[in-house]
Amino acid sequence: MAYESRLSLTVDSRTGEQRLRSFRGELNQTERAGKLTGAAMGKLASAISLAAAAAGGFGLSRVIRETTDFDSALRGLQATSRASARDMKALEDQARTLGATTMFSAKQTADAQQFLAMAGFEVNQILGATPAVLKLATAANMDLASAADIASNVLGGMRLQVEDLDRVVDVLAATTSGSNTNIGQLGQALAYAAPLAASASIEIEETAAAIGVLSDAGLQGSKAGTGLVGVIRQLSNVTPVAEEALARYGLSVADVDIAVHGLSSVLDTLQKANISTSDAFKVFGSEAGAAAQILANGSQRVREFTGDLTEAEGAASAMAQIIGGGLAGSWASFNSALSESILRLGRDQGVASGFQSVVDTATGVISVYNDMLPQFAEANDLTEDQADNLQMLADGLETVGTVAVLAIGGKLAGSAAAAGCVPPCASPVA
C-alpha cells in the first residue's frame, strides 16, 4: 500500500493582509546569528497559502494579473514620456477615470497614452488628446493603442498642432462613414500621402476626400496613398513629356499647378479636358496613372466630399455614441468599471504589493536552493543582512520539511503496528 502525505496551509482572511505587510519587515529584522522564529514560519506558511490561492483562483489571480498589467503599462508610459512623479499621478488618474467610465480599461488607456508619448506629445498634450483618441477608437471599433497611433501619425504627417486632434479624429471618422474604407486603411493611406499633401498645401479634409474616392474605386490602403502621392508629385514637377501631353489638350503647366489652384480645381480641369488613358500615363506615370483617372473622373465627388468633411465636427462623438450604445458597449463598460474596482483592491489597498513581497522572498529562497544567493543578492541590491536572512529562511524551511516527513513517517508506522502489521508490510512514505 502506498501512502501519500499532504501539507495543508490555510489563510485567515481577516489577518492575511496584515501578515503580508509585516512579513518582509520581520525577515529583515531577524538576527543574523539567530534562529528562524516560529512566528516567522507561521507568516511564511500564510504567505505561501496566499500564493497558492492566487494560482488556484478565488478571484485573487485576477486582482494580481490586472494590477500587474496596469502597473506595467504605467511603467512603459513613464519610461517613454520621462514624466515626473507628479505628472505620472495625473496620467494615472486620467487612465483610471476614463477606464472606469468608458468602454476601455485603465490599462488600455495607459497604452494609448504611451503611443501619444512616443509621438512626442508632452504630458499636458497627452492629457488633452486622450479623450479624442477614445472617441475615435469607439467610433472605429478598434483598440485604443491603434487609434492613438493612427491619429498621432496623421496629425504629424499633415503638420497640424495637437489642438487640431479633434478635427483630425472627426475627419477620419466621417471619411470612413462616407466611403469604402476603414480607419486602418485610411491611416495607412495617409501615412503615405499626408506629408506630401501638407507640402502642397492640401488640407486634411481634401486629402481624406481624395483617398475616399480612390477607395470607392477599389484602391484602398497603401494603394490609395501611393496613388495620391504620385498624382501630387507629378503635378508639382511636370516633366517635358507630361507638358507635351497636356499641351495637346490646350493645358499649360500653370493650369495644373496645385499650389495655385488647389487639388479639386486641378482635378476639375483634368476632367473637362478628358485626357486619354495613354496620355494620362505620360503625365502621371505608370504608378499614378490609374489613380489620376479615377480622381479626374470623380472630381465632383472629391469636391462634394471635401465639403462634407469640412463640416464633420462632432462626427466621431456621434458615431461613438451609436456604436457604444449597444449591449456590447454596455458589457465593455461594465468590465471596465469592474477593472477599476479590481485596481482599487490590488493597487490602492496593497494586495498586489503584498503579493510581490511574497514572490520576491520566495524567489530569494529558491536562489538559495539553486546555490545562487550571492548572484541574486547582487542583482537585487540586497544588504548582507537580507541575504543572510534568506539563507536562514531556506535552512528553516528545509528543517521544517524534514521534521514533517519524520513525523508523518512515525505516525504511519504507529498506525501499521496498531493494525498488527510489522515492517516490511508498510510501504515507504511516498
pLDDT level of residue 23 (50, 70, 90 thresholds) = very low
Q: What's the pLDDT at 397?
A: 65
Q: What's the pLDDT at 354?
A: 56
Contact at 8 Å (CB) between 420 and 63? no
pLDDT level of residue 319 (50, 70, 90 thresholds) = confident
Tell me: pLDDT of 56 over 70: no
User: CB count, 10 Å around CB of 337?
Assistant: 14
Tell me: pLDDT of 337 over 90: no
pLDDT level of residue 420 (50, 70, 90 thresholds) = low
pLDDT level of residue 102 (50, 70, 90 thresholds) = confident
The residue that leads in pLDDT, 2 or 123, is 123
Tell me: pLDDT of 363 over 80: no
Residue in 123, 310, 119 with CA at minimum distance from that of residue 206: 310
pTM of the model: 0.65
Q: Helix, strand, coil proportions of the chain in percent (round to 5)?
A: 75, 0, 25
pLDDT tens figures, 134-181: 999 988 888 888 899 999 999 999 999 988 999 999 999 999 999 999
pLDDT tens figures, 60-98: 677 778 788 888 999 999 999 999 999 999 999 999 998
The beta-carbon contacts of 66-70 under 8 Å, at least 24 apart in sequence, are 66/107, 66/339, 66/342, 66/343, 66/346, 67/342, 67/343, 67/346, 67/347, 67/351, 67/352, 68/352, 69/107, 70/95, 70/106, 70/107, 70/110, 70/343, 70/347
CA angle 318, 73, 100 (to 5 degrees): 45
Tell me: pLDDT of 317 over 50: yes
Contact at 8 Å (CB) between 134 and 170? no
Q: What's the pLDDT at 54?
A: 42
Q: What's the pLDDT at 392?
A: 75
Please, is 29 exposed, middle or buried when counting C-beta atoms within 10 Å of its C-beta (0-12, 13-18, 19+)? exposed
User: CB count, 10 Å around CB of 278?
Assistant: 9
> Rounded to an integer, what distance in angstroms lies between the CA atom of residue 43 and that of residue 379?
26
All three cell numbers of 240, joined, read: 517635358
The three state secondary structure string of 223-240 is: HHHHHHHHHHHHHHCCCH
Q: What's the pLDDT at 68?
A: 81
The CA-based dihedral angle spanning residues 30, 32, 34, 38, taken in that order and rounded to the nearest 10 degrees: 30
Q: Any idea which residue has 466621431 for its cell?
A: 316
Percent of the chain whose pLDDT exceeds 70: 69
> Rounded to an integer, what distance in angstroms lies between the CA atom of residue 195 and that of residue 232?
11
Give the containing element (helix H, strand E) for 172: helix 165-178
Distances from the Cα of 221 to the Cα of 89, 181, 214, 248, 326, angstroms: 39, 8, 10, 34, 29
The residue that leads in pLDDT, 367 or 37, is 367
Tell me: pLDDT of 19 over 80: no
Q: What's the pLDDT at 288?
A: 86
Tell me: pLDDT of 318 over 70: yes
Q: What's the pLDDT at 371?
A: 78
